[in-house]
Every structure is written in structure tokens, then in C-alpha cells.
A and B are shown apart, each in its own frame.
Chain A
Amino acid sequence: MAHLGYLLLGLGTGSAIAALALGVVLTHRASGVVNFAHAATGVYIAFAFYTLRNTGDLVLPIVGLPAEIHVVDRPTVFTALVVCLALAAAVGALQYLLIFRLLRRRPALARVVATLGLFLYFISLIRLRFGATGATGLEIRSILPSGVVRIGSTVVFRDRFILAGILLAVTALLWLLYRFTRFGLATRAAAEEEAGAVRLGISPDLLGVANWALAAMLAGGAVILVAPIVRLDPAGTSLLIVPAVAAALVASFSSFPAAVASGLAIGMVQSELLNLQADVEWLPDIGLQQGVPFIVILVVLGFRGERLAGRSLVLAQDLPPAPDPVKLVPVTLAIAAAGTVGLLTLDSGWRQGIIISAIVAIIALSVVVVTGYIGQISLAPFAFAGVAAFALVRLSEDFGVPFPIAPIIAALVATVVGVIAALPAIGVRGMNLAIATLAAAVAVEELVFKWTWFTGGSRGARPPQPELFGVDLGISGVGTDFPKPAFGILVLVVLVLCTLGVIGLRRGRTGLGWLAVRANERAAAAAGVKVAQAKITAFGVSGFLAGIGGSLLAYQRQQISSASFGVMNSLSLLAITYLAGISSPAGAMVAGLLATGGLLTVYLEQSNPDASQYQEITNAVMLIVAAIAFSGGLTGSVRSGSERLMAKLRPQTGDDIDRPGSGFAMDTVVDATEGSRASRRPTTGTAPATSATPETSPVAGSLSPSAETKR
């Protein structure tokens, strides 16, 4: 069978990816949002369509409303399509009105978190509405004409070609719509300069509603058509968003034709890899089909990174302030002391909660460094953690490296991976980097974590328990001895050291350089900051922290497998760290508390053992609400609130400008060449009574969280 034949056979999967990529591009062009929930929205619409076809009932998407309404007995394909596409439009409009309209001027990260919440919402919704059987209870038949087409010796089904044809037609229509119609021009105008568009009488909200409605219709239509080919599964089909985003990235989130071409190409390459993997013996037995497309994307970014359009602009303006964390030193020590007392006095459930919270806090510190301090969105912390975890096992088992050298070396291995991951960051910014790191995380999961020697394959790996000078520091214990306090104290000590290390870096020359890069890369470079070096250093430190956390996770779990460090773990960690406060080590601590299995989980389980079936969907809603309502995270909100309170309680003086609690959103201006903090100036709120005089020419940069995001 010719290789060309297998490429053609990939049209089915490729069409699925391409169809979803269209909607991702559309949403990004219209709103600057990379909608990770795009495929999940389509999956829900597809479930609704096939249920409507089977039963005549329309399943509604809002929890709290009736689960379904009877529309008509035995609707035709056309009727069901019309109804469900109208439903999709309504869903898209609601997504914009209730969520993304409110996030228009929020950090890109807030939008990422909101889309993750939406992703979880739809998956949970489908589970609730359609039960454990999911799609197996639905009759899913293709609505496209059947038949075969023979091209040489290759047999391809007609519906694949028809699907590809529909895709091309839709692409052409979209291209025409956005290039030549008033609606399309208005959308582009509003996207480029919203204020100007408003002055011209263009309503961004109306455009947003229309574009999101159209995107949701595209998602629903896409999954309805491809479900008979790629199957319909709540989580599985929703994860097609990953290659779809990859295809959209190759198209710079702007070109419909390029997105479709990339999506089709990914599917075709996967099909050809299926052919090659079966025939070519030297090809490794790892997730090539899933992983290689992402390697290609990373390469594309590496070559085109600087020329890729970055929708979100100056990310630094979108992040919450990164205040001097010096006051966290006593707080950290106090937390560690309290944790130690807890480990020695509380029952096993609470001890486990303390340990898990502490470990996740360490990994969350890696997010604080790379995203909070230097403004790079990385969606791969758990990939780094996993690399270290498996390296730990290999070092211990195969090379006899003892504790604590083994976890340190393992963390250094993760550091190397982190530095490698930094290379695309040099030329790529904002959401593009986020996608690149997501692609890297997927590639690591498919290509590295399935490498049998390194990870033990599906059998997993067991790290030896840590021991130091004959003292067993491992977690294992019989009965209520588990988890052993000694392991917990070890984790707390590591947490303290890591936190102090991060605080020290933040307050030193390295951290100031990071903040300068975060504020404005070009200005930082002009001031003498080596931007590339700063980024690489940040990624390296981040990788090391994640690696330390990964090693501790391996000790804590006692058995690890490739499934232990999946992409979803990274996304979840990013989300909770954002919610907690991504620009401060305090946020990392709170993220640890919020993590699954951490102290909050223990508290909830003990206070409400009969968890409701709606818990998961409620969590998703809370995530969205928090993304909208807490721009600085929980710690930022607490800090802002206490600052306002302090300001009200204390009479205003000129010194207030330099003191936290003044109520201003302060930004730190750094003269990196002088190595000192040159000046501070408030960027929002009331004009200061006095202003500090810079000792040297400041590096300008605004870190006001209320500054509008330029589009």
C-alpha cells in the first residue's frame, strides 16, 4: 500500500482535528481567547444531537434547569441539526456573555483558567446527563452518504472526502465572511482596536456574541459529523482540543485555511505513522502517533517563533503584582512549624493532607517562578516533575545512587529539561508559549513516559524509600502509622528550603531581572538585562523545583506510572495556582492547600463524607467564577483587601507610596545595571502625594492589574 494511500486514510481523523481547529482560530481572532473547552462544547452538542435523534428529547446544558425537554418524536436529521445548532449558538452566546465578556480585559491566564473550568463543566455535564454508559447507549450513525472511493489500491470511504469537502467549503465561507463582509471587518476592527471600534459605533459585545455563537456551532457541527469516525467519548473526544490547538498554532491562530491544512496534515501523519510503526521494527514502541505531531509543532515554533502573532500582547501587564516576599520568611517557618506539630499529633488522614499539600506547594513554586515572576506561561510543570520522578527510580535502582543525592540529581535532570523547554520561549510569547509547553508536555507524556526502560512502561516504577544515616525517612508504615511523620517532616524541610530559595532569588539580582523581563522585555534588554539568560534561568529553576516535587511525589506514592504525570495534572496545577496567587510564594502555599488530596480535601471529606454527584460540576463552576472574580488570586485579593483596610486605618502620608498597604498597585522598576531598585511609582488609583526620585534612569514598565489589555 503506497504511503500516499495511508496519508489519504488519515482524512477522517485529520478532518476532526481540522474542523475543531477552525473554531479555535475563530474564537481567538474574535476574542483573543484560546478556548480549551471548544471540543468539549462540541462533544456536548453531539451528545444532544444523537440523543435527540434517538429519543426526541433535547438535553439541556445548564445544571439546575430540567435535564431535558421533549421536542418532537423521531426528528429527521435536518430537524435535529437545526435544533442542535441553534442550541450550540445559544451555548456559545452564553459562554461569551457570562464568562468571556467579563474576562475581556483580564489576564490571558485568567481566560485559560476559565476555559479549563468550562472544559471540566461539559465533561461533568455529559457524565451527569448521559450516565456511565455514555455514547454506548446512543445510536451514532453517520449522516453523510456512505460508499467507497478507490484511489489506486487504496479504499477510502466517501464520507471522509465529503467531510473534507465540507471543511473546505466552510473554510472558504469563513474566509469570505471575515474578509469581505461588514461583520467580518467589524470583528477584525474590534479585535485590533476595541476602543476605536466602539467610537465608530461597533458593539464589541454584539460581535462577541455572534462570533462565539458561530464558533460553538462550528464545534457542534464538527463533532456531530466526525463522531461516527473518531467515536464519541466525553473525555477522549474533548481531548482532541490538544491537536486542534496545535493546528491552530501552526496557523498563528489567524488563518482559517492554514488551520485546516495543519489539522488535516496531523491526521494524515498519524495514519502514516500507524503504517510505519507496524512495519518498521526500529521505530520505538512509544506513542509516536500522538507525540510526533507535537514535535513538529515545537520545531515550527522554533523556526517561526518570533514571527508568530501574539494576541495577548504584553503579558506582564496582565499579571498581578509580585510584591517583595520578605515577610513570607517568618510565615513559611511558622507554617512549617505548624505542619510539624500536625504531623506529630494528628491522625493519618490529616498527616497525608499536610504531606500532599506541601509537595504540591513545591511544584506550584515552579509555576510561580516561571509564570508569576518572569511572565512565561508554562503548561508543563508535571512533565518536569515526572521526568525527575522516573529519573529518581532509575538512578536509585540501576545506579545505586543513595538518598539524598538521587533526588537532587533527578531534579537536575528536570532542570535540563526545563532549560530545553525554555529555548522556544526565547522567541515565543504569551499564549503561543503556553501552547508550545502544552505540546511539549504531551510529547513528553507520549514519547518519554512510554519509554519502557525509563519508566517501567505500563508496569510503572517503585522508588526505594529514602533513608539517611540509617534513619528511615520513608512514608510507608503499617496501620495508622502511615504516613510516617518523618517523611512529612522531610517534605516540610524541603518546602522551607525551596521557599526560602525562591524568596532569595526574587529579592536578588536574578529576581529583579526576571521582573524586568516580565514587565517589558525590550525595555529590560535596553537596560542591560540579558533576556534570554533570564528566561533560561527561570525555566531552569522552575524545572528544578518541579523536579524536587516530582521526586517527593514518587516517594509519597511509592509506585508511579506514566499516568501519574499527565497533561491534565499540569493544567489543574496551573489553574489552582492562578486561583491561589501566581505571583507569590504565598500563592504556592495556598495552591498546596487547594490541591486534590491536600488539606482542603481532607477537611471536606471529614465534614461531608457523602459527597454529592454534583461536586465535580460545582468545582468547575467555582473555577470559572474565581477566574472572573479573583484577578490576583486568593492571596492577591487578601493582600489587596488588607492593604485597603490598612490604608483606611492609617493616615495617608507621602511614605505610603513606598509601603505596602498604600492601596496602590505598585510596580517595581529596576535598573538592572545598577543592581538596585531604582524607583517605584504607583500606576493606578489616586495620584501620590509625593513621588520617589529615581537614582538612575528607570526601566519603564507597568504592572497595574487594572491596566487594559491591548489587543
Chain B
Amino acid sequence: MQASQVRVLMMGLALVLLAAACSEPAPEEQGTSVSEESTDETDAGDSSENDADTDGTDATDVEGGSDEGAEDGAEADDASDADDSSEGDGDSGSDDADNGQGDTAADDSVIGEYAGESWFRGTVPDTAVAADPSLEPVKIGMINIEESIAGSFPEVRAAAAAAIEFINTELGGVDGHPIEFLPCVTDFNIEASQACAQQMVSDEVVAVAGGIDITSEGSVPVLEQNGLPLVGGIPVGSIEMSSPVSFYFSGGGPGAFAGLAFHAVTESNASKVAIAYGDFGSFTIAAREFGADVVERQGAEVELIPFPMVGADFLPVFTKAADFGAEAIVLGAGDTSCIPAMQIRKDLGMEDIPLYLTGACAADEIIAQADGLLDGVFFNTEGPIAPDDIEGAMYQAAVDRYAVEPAGGAGTVGFRGMMNLWDALVEVGYDNLSPAAVLENVESSTDRPSFWGFPYTCSEDQIPGLGALCGPNQTVFQIRLVDGELQVEGVGPIEIDIPSLVAETG
């Protein structure tokens, strides 16, 4: 075959592929399995350069309970189960009466199922009320990374979309006005993130619901310049953890490492704590500046053990911890590290040394594979652990009803963020809505109830230098194998006040 003929053939093949690609519909389902009450965690970040780890773990009732997960030290915050116990409630008993102007939804609505129960806005309304589609919508944006080599987290967007549908269909929107969702997908590219942020500005959204944006150094400066609040989501980079327009209902990696380290010293009584972490990005900051600091302030010794994100064998890591004489090990790494790390711990006979894992390792897939490896392991979550988890159940019911794509795993964070944002929008009121008003409202929050999470405070830095981490409190709990099933047992759960802890270490 002549070279020119080959060229023609190759070009033709490429054109066929291009045509097929452009006409290919998006998949109906991919990735994370959605289990009914667990949050799966998205892992972003095993590779040194590019990945981000997000974590959402799932806790309490590991075998099937509803929870959410803890976060992965570095990048994802996904969280937890929340008891609907938020304190701060009370004045929201008539949410739907305040918001809705539309028709009452059917009796089989989510609201109808949980009517009268306590939730973050006081009491769940008695009846569902739909927003009026003829009214001017409230525009909410989102920047979320999908379909990239560094990871893809469509579940965050899908869950936020489900929350919006839930709000529009059953919670009356914002003073009767429906919410219009305008997400922008970025693909692990700074310019794309920047373009997405500019898109948010062009679309004239009043706020950006937080997703996962690994290259947020592109988007955050644009949002800052335009005073657009970024509310909820999973903090990945340091810029978004410290930006004046970002507000996360999470403690990010710093909160996770601080909480786990504190528990190791005070509850596991470890006088020597080894902190092993993937040497990349905010893992490093979280481990060194928060985890290690907390250990030392509690009077214990700490050994920091960084390992490469790419191709690291955990055998030297755990051996080093053993050589140090560690009485507890805190490990911050991506979800693909969980099984190898726990297996090596077992093979080295170190199961008597408490192991603390950030939330990525409590994903359903990992739990399913890990079997007995998880016995005795400690995790963190960012909400109280309670048997009557109404908000978790509501989340699941809403997702089942309104999600058009898989919305589990890290989607819990997207759902929670959107619900909290809606809370703020309602409080501001449609007539006063503007980015500045929303920003001011969220920024002034003090001990404010969070949907399915700990109350959050954005009015002052909860973690020094990382003012965007509004809800850093942690619950650390242990998992034990009981009668062949994993249960929250053993030491804890212990709720940890991260702001006071970090303030002491300051």
C-alpha cells in the first residue's frame, strides 16, 4: 500500500471516529455504584501530578447504613452522616409556606414521607410545594471536573441537580421561583476552569454550587474578582480553602488529619504517632501543618513519612512506622492505596497498632473487597453519627426519585452543598438576591445548621489561614467485624472540635 493511500485511510478512520464520537450520547451510568446509604468516595489523586483525591466515606452503619464519609485528607470532603439534630433550628417549620407558591406535590413525595421530622431547617414541612415555573428562575452554577485523565466526578453534579429538582418540586424553590442549574464541566485544565468561571459570570448566576475543581487556581481568581460565592463542594487545593468567596461545609484535609491525629493520641493513647501521606499538594500541608502539629501539641512524638503518589510500595512505609515504634498510624492517600496498605499492615502483623484512614477508604467498593482488613480501622466523618439519620434517608429518597445519573459517593457532598445553599437563598429572599447578598449571608453564618453535617461557621476562621473551611468538626469512629459484619464499634465515635484544637496548635 502506498504511503499516500495509508494517509488517506488513516484520515478516513479518524474522521469516522470523530463523527462517531460527536454523535455518541453520554453514558447513562458510569462509575460509582450507588449504594443506598453510603457515600462512596471519589478518589482524586494517586498520581503525583494530577489526580486529586476526594473522599467521601461512609460510616456508621457500614453494612448498609446511611452515611457519608469522611474525607480524604487531601482533597475531597465528602461527608457524613448527619443526624438531623442540628441545633439551630426552629424557625423553619413552615419552609414550604414561606417558599412555595406552586402546587402541592403528590402524597408520595419525599417531604410527605418525612413530614414533621426534625431537620436542619427545623421541621420538615407537612406538604410538598412546587415552585412556579412561570416565575423568573434563580440561576445557580457549578464548576465540576469530569471525563479527564485526573478523574471524573459527575456524581457531584448529578446529586446537586437532584437536590435542585427536589427543591423545585417539593420545597417551593426560592420564594416560589425555581432554581435553574447551569453547571460547567472542566477537564483538569486551568484554562478550562478559568473559562468555566467566566461562564458563571456571563450566565449571571447568583452563586456557584461547589463541585470538584482540581485546577481551581484558574477559576477562583475570576470568582473573587466578580464577588461570586462558591458554596459547598469538595475543597481540593489550598487556594479554594483560603479564598474569601469560598465556603465549604467541611474541614478538608487539615480537619481530617487534625481530627485523626488527636484521636490517636487521646483515645488510642498513642505516645508515638506515625503520619504517612502521599507527597502531593494539600496532602502535604494537611499532614505536616495540622496532623503533626496536633500530635506534638498533645505531647506525643510524631514521625512524618512521605511517599510518592506514583508507584509507592507501602512495605517501606509501614516498616518505617514500625521502626519508629509507632503506637498509631495515620495514613493519607488515595482510594487505590487502601487495600494494599491494610493488607501490608496485616501481613506485617501490625494489626494491634491502631490505623487511621482518611475517608477514601470507606467507599463501598473498598469495603466489599476489604473484608476483615477493615476490622479495627478508624475513620473520620464530618457529621454526628446517629441511628435515626433522617437527612441521610431524605437524601437517598430524593436521589432515588430525582437523580437522572448516578449520584452516590461524592454526590452526597454535592447534595448537601446545594441544600445548604438553598437555605441561604431562602434566607436572603428572592427580592434581595444578588451574589453580594448571598456571599454576605453565608459569610455571616455562625454555628448554622448544615444538611446532614455538623453546624458550620463562616464568620470567622475555623482553621487559621483556611477561612473557607467552615465545617471542620470531625467524628472519628472505629469499625469492627461483628458476627461477620462490619459495624461501628469499639473506640469512639468521638466528636472532635477542630477549631479549638487547631487554635491551640495555632
Chain A residues engaging chain B, CB cutoff 8 angstroms = 1, 5-6, 9-10, 12-13, 16-17, 63-64, 102, 120, 123-124, 127, 131-137, 139-140, 146, 148, 154-157, 160, 228-237, 239-240, 243, 267, 270-271, 274-275, 277-278, 285, 287, 289-290, 347-349, 352, 356, 445-446, 457-460, 462, 476-480, 482, 557-561, 563-564, 566-568, 596-597, 601, 605, 608, 610-618, 621-622, 625, 628-629
Contact B195 A349 (CB under 8 A): yes
Q: Is residue B47 within 8 Å, beta carbon to beta carbon, of the partner chain? A: yes
* A-facing residues in B4-55 (Cβ within 8 Å): 6-7, 10-11, 13-14, 17-18, 20-24, 26-27, 30-33, 40, 42-43, 46-51
Q: Is residue B238 within 8 Å, beta carbon to beta carbon, of the partner chain? A: yes
- The minimal Cβ–Cβ distance linking A629 to chain B, given in whole angstroms, is 4
Cα distance A148–B347 in the bound complex, in angstroms:
8
Contact A457 B13 (CB under 8 A): no
Q: Is residue B64 within 8 Å, beta carbon to beta carbon, of the partner chain? A: no
Contact B316 A123 (CB under 8 A): no
Contact B17 A63 (CB under 8 A): yes
Contact B153 A132 (CB under 8 A): yes
Residue of B with least CB distance to A286: B279
Cα distance A275–B303 in the bound complex, in angstroms:
11
Contact B340 A228 (CB under 8 A): yes
Cα distance A66–B194 in the bound complex, in angstroms:
37
* A-facing residues in B187-242 (Cβ within 8 Å): 187, 189-192, 194-195, 198, 201-202, 215, 217-218, 220-222, 225-227, 237-239, 242
A-B contact pairs, 20 of them (CB 8 A): A120-B149, A135-B336, A229-B315, A233-B334, A235-B51, A235-B150, A237-B311, A274-B317, A277-B306, A287-B279, A290-B279, A352-B195, A477-B225, A478-B226, A482-B226, A559-B218, A597-B189, A618-B18, A629-B7, A629-B10
Q: Find chain B residues with CB under 8 A from A243 CB.
A: 311
Cα distance A617–B242 in the bound complex, in angstroms:
35
Contact B336 A597 (CB under 8 A): no
User: Out of A278, A348, A615, which one reaches B304, CB within 8 Å?
Assistant: A278
User: Out of B153, B191, B311, B347, which one reaches A597, CB within 8 Å?
Assistant: B191
Contact A136 B201 (CB under 8 A): no
Q: Find chain B residues with CB under 8 A from A356 CB.
A: 191
Given A568-B49, A612-B21, verify A275-B316 contact (CB < 8 Å): yes
Contact B149 A625 (CB under 8 A): no
User: Out of A236, A557, A621, which one reaches B51, CB within 8 Å?
Assistant: A236
Contact A352 B194 (CB under 8 A): yes
User: Out of A17, A157, A482, A605, which one reaches B222, CB within 8 Å?
Assistant: A482
Residue of A with least CB distance to B227: A478
With A134-B43, A479-B226, A557-B194 already in contact, 20 other A-B pairs whose C-beta atoms are closer than 8 Å: A9-B316, A131-B32, A132-B32, A132-B152, A132-B155, A133-B363, A136-B336, A231-B336, A233-B46, A240-B311, A290-B308, A458-B285, A476-B225, A557-B190, A558-B221, A561-B238, A601-B192, A614-B24, A622-B18, A628-B7
Cα distance A563–B45 in the bound complex, in angstroms:
12
Q: Find chain B residues with CB under 8 A from A612 CB.
A: 21-24, 26
Given A233-B336, A239-B310, A270-B308, verify A628-B195 contact (CB < 8 Å): no
Task: Name A's interface SS.
Answer: helix
- The minimal Cβ–Cβ distance linking B98 to chain A, given in whole angstroms, is 32
- The minimal Cβ–Cβ distance linking A63 to chain B, given in whole angstroms, is 7
- The minimal Cβ–Cβ distance linking A480 to chain B, given in whole angstroms, is 6
- The minimal Cβ–Cβ distance linking A317 to chain B, given in whole angstroms, is 17
Contact A274 B306 (CB under 8 A): yes
How many residues of B are counted as interface, with CB atoms below 8 angstroms from the partner's CB atoms?
101
- The minimal Cβ–Cβ distance linking B422 to chain A, given in whole angstroms, is 25
Cα distance A135–B242 in the bound complex, in angstroms:
32
- The minimal Cβ–Cβ distance linking B113 to chain A, given in whole angstroms, is 30
Q: Find chain B residues with CB under 8 A from A597 CB.
A: 189-192, 194-195
- The minimal Cβ–Cβ distance linking B365 to chain A, given in whole angstroms, is 5
Residue of B195, B281, B285, B304 with highest tally of chain A CB at under 10 A? B195
Contact A133 B149 (CB under 8 A): no
Q: Is residue B288 within 8 Å, beta carbon to beta carbon, of the partner chain? A: yes
Contact A1 B323 (CB under 8 A): yes
Given A132-B152, A289-B307, A560-B217, verify A349-B198 contact (CB < 8 Å): yes
Contact A458 B237 (CB under 8 A): yes
Cα distance A131–B27 in the bound complex, in angstroms:
10
Given A459-B285, A625-B10, A628-B7, verify A564-B217 contact (CB < 8 Å): yes
Cα distance A601–B226 in the bound complex, in angstroms:
24
Q: Which 10 A-B pairs have the closest CB atoms?
A: A597-B191, A132-B31, A236-B47, A12-B313, A614-B21, A131-B31, A558-B221, A236-B46, A559-B217, A9-B316
Contact B149 A616 (CB under 8 A): yes
Q: Is residue B348 within 8 Å, beta carbon to beta carbon, of the partner chain? A: yes
Residue of A with least CB distance to B4: A629
Contact B13 A616 (CB under 8 A): no
Residue of A with least CB distance to B216: A559
Contact B20 A64 (CB under 8 A): yes
Q: Find chain A residues with CB under 8 A from B13 CB.
A: 621, 625
Q: Is residue B251 within 8 Å, beta carbon to beta carbon, of the partner chain? A: no
Cα distance A154–B307 in the bound complex, in angstroms:
19
Cα distance A123–B188 in the bound complex, in angstroms:
14
User: Out of A131, A136, A596, which one reaches B335, CB within 8 Å?
Assistant: A136
Contact B51 A127 (CB under 8 A): no
Q: Find chain B residues with CB under 8 A from A621 CB.
A: 13-14, 17
- The minimal Cβ–Cβ distance linking B101 to chain A, given in whole angstroms, is 31
Given A270-B308, A564-B190, verify A230-B316 contact (CB < 8 Å): no
- The minimal Cβ–Cβ distance linking B51 to chain A, given in whole angstroms, is 6
Contact A132 B26 (CB under 8 A): no
User: Out of A240, A289, A479, which one reaches B201, CB within 8 Å?
Assistant: A479
Contact A132 B42 (CB under 8 A): yes
Contact B147 A616 (CB under 8 A): yes
Contact A136 B365 (CB under 8 A): yes
Cα distance A387–B370 in the bound complex, in angstroms:
44
Contact A557 B217 (CB under 8 A): yes
Cα distance A44–B217 in the bound complex, in angstroms:
32
Q: Is residue B118 within 8 Å, beta carbon to beta carbon, of the partner chain? A: no
User: Out of B23, B43, B285, B304, which one reaches A457, CB within 8 Å?
Assistant: B285
Q: Find chain B residues with CB under 8 A from A239 CB.
A: 47-49, 310-311
Q: Find chain B residues with CB under 8 A from A290 CB.
A: 48, 279, 308, 310
Given A235-B47, A236-B46, verify A482-B217 contact (CB < 8 Å): no
Cα distance A408–B40 in the bound complex, in angstroms:
49
Q: Is residue B305 within 8 Å, beta carbon to beta carbon, of the partner chain? A: yes
Q: Find chain A residues with CB under 8 A from B342 CB.
A: none
Q: Find chain B residues with CB under 8 A from A349 CB.
A: 195, 198, 202
Given A236-B47, A625-B10, verify A123-B149 contact (CB < 8 Å): yes
Q: Find chain B residues with CB under 8 A from A155 CB.
A: 319, 348
Cα distance A124–B18 in the bound complex, in angstroms:
15
User: Out of A17, A64, A127, A157, which one reaches B311, CB within 8 Å?
Assistant: A17
Given A136-B363, A233-B47, A628-B6, verify A9-B220 contact (CB < 8 Å): no
Given A123-B149, A559-B217, A628-B6, verify A6-B336 contact (CB < 8 Å): no
Contact A16 B311 (CB under 8 A): yes
User: Out of B26, B48, B194, B315, which one reaches A156, CB within 8 Å?
Assistant: B315
Contact B189 A596 (CB under 8 A): yes
Q: Find chain B residues with CB under 8 A from A482 CB.
A: 198, 201, 222, 225-226
Cα distance A137–B27 in the bound complex, in angstroms:
18
User: Out of B195, B308, B365, which one reaches A287, CB within 8 Å?
Assistant: B308
Contact B147 A127 (CB under 8 A): yes
Q: Find chain B residues with CB under 8 A from A352 CB.
A: 191, 194-195, 198
Given A231-B46, A232-B336, verify A559-B239 contact (CB < 8 Å): yes
Cα distance A234–B305 in the bound complex, in angstroms:
25
Cα distance A232–B311 in the bound complex, in angstroms:
9
* A-facing residues in B144-165 (Cβ within 8 Å): 147-155
Contact A271 B316 (CB under 8 A): yes
Cα distance A608–B21 in the bound complex, in angstroms:
12
Contact A133 B33 (CB under 8 A): yes
Q: Find chain A residues with CB under 8 A from B307 CB.
A: 274, 289
Contact A133 B147 (CB under 8 A): no
